């Protein structure tokens, strides 16, 4: 029987709010099983880009990354946010190690082709070095991954954090019974974005296409959903979307993705 492993991706307003982030990390620590954390930070990167006079462009919830944008997201994701999370966990007695995909060659990627849309310095994941990641896990060090990868030729690349979480979960599922949890400030996927309690409890792939066509699911939720179904189709045991309180209490409202 495989050991249970949970891959948690954190993003949204929680990253922007130090009190909410601290509360989330307390919940994360209480997960009584091997775990990996993947974090975003797009809003902070966008705010810094604006201050620096660098334009931010998005397409279907994904960031188009110019050379200047890449410098900003590397500073924000792999630097400020990653080390802040790692330091906070260390202060709470949790031995975490902050990583980008370039560290220990954990995640390699190739630059996305310019057609049909030129995303710039965005990487499509090629390999997840699950053996190295497992060394951290087996030695009681919790990997904390930012959304920065590399092409093994010295070029850093920006990759959607939801994608990284999905790919890590898939890779680790060879050794573990792996759950993937996308965690943000909402209780789950909402039928009505203005009603916090309109959580859609279960969504299968057919439901998703219908909700997408009706624009109920759109923008930044699209990559999350695409990666959720991709993970389920590649032997990840369970995929959930919800807020921090549902990490340890699965009776709390959240959205369960099914095939």
Residue 149 forms beta bridges with which residues? 157
- In this prediction, residue 220 carries a pLDDT of 81
Question: For each of the chain's 259 residues, which pLDDT tens digit applies?
Answer: 899 999 999 988 899 899 999 999 999 999 989 999 999 998 899 999 999 999 999 887 788 999 999 999 999 999 999 999 999 999 999 999 999 999 999 999 999 999 999 999 999 999 999 999 999 999 999 999 999 999 999 999 999 999 999 999 999 999 999 999 999 989 999 999 999 999 999 999 999 999 999 999 988 899 899 999 999 999 999 999 999 888 888 778 899 999 9
Domain 3-257 in CATH 3.40.50.2300: no
Q: Which of 183, 225, 259, 202 is nearest to 60 (CA)?
A: 225
Q: Which of 109, 98, 99 is nearest to 152 (CA)?
A: 109
- In this prediction, residue 245 carries a pLDDT of 84
Q: How many CA atoms lie within 13 A of 80 on its CB side?
A: 16
In the block, which residue shows the tokens 């019974």? 177
Cα distances (angstroms) measured from residue 173 to each of 29, 133, 159, 168: 21, 12, 21, 8
Q: Which of 142, 132, 187 is nearest to 8 (CA)?
A: 142
Q: Name the burial class of residue 67, with classes exposed (0-12), middle (13-18) and buried (19+) by CB atoms within 10 angstroms of its CB.
A: exposed
């Amino acid at each position: 029987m495989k050991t249970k492993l949970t891959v948690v991706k954190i993003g949204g307003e929680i990253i922007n709010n130090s009190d909410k982030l601290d509360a989330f990390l307390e919940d994360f620590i209480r997960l009584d099983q091997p775990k990996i954390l993947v974090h975003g930070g797009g809003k902070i990167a966008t705010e810094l880009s604006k201050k620096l006079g660098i334009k931010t462009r998005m397409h279907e919830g994904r960031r188009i990354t110019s050379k200047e944008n890449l410098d900003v997201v590397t500073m924000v994701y792999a630097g400020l946010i990653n080390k802040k999370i790692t330091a906070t966990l260390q202060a709470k007695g949790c031995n975490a190690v902050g990583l980008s995909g370039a560290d220990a060659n954990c995640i390699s990627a190739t630059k996305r082709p310019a057609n049909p849309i030129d995303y710039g310095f965005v990487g499509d994941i090629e390999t997840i070095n699950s053996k190295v990641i497992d060394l951290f896990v087996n030695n009681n060090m919790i990997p904390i991954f930012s959304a920065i990868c590399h092409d093994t030729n010295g070029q850093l690349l920006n990759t959607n954090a939801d994608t990284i979480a999905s790919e890590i979960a898939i890779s680790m599922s060879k050794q573990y019974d792996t759950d993937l949890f996308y965690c943000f400030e909402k209780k789950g996927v909402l039928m009505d974005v203005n009603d916090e309690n309109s959580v859609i409890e279960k969504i299968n792939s057919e439901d998703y296409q219908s909700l997408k066509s009706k624009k109920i699911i759109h923008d930044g939720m699209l990559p999350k959903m695409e990666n959720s179904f991709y993970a389920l189709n590649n032997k990840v045991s369970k995929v959930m979307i919800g807020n921090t309180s549902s990490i340890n209490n699965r009776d709390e409202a959240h959205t369960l993705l099914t095939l």
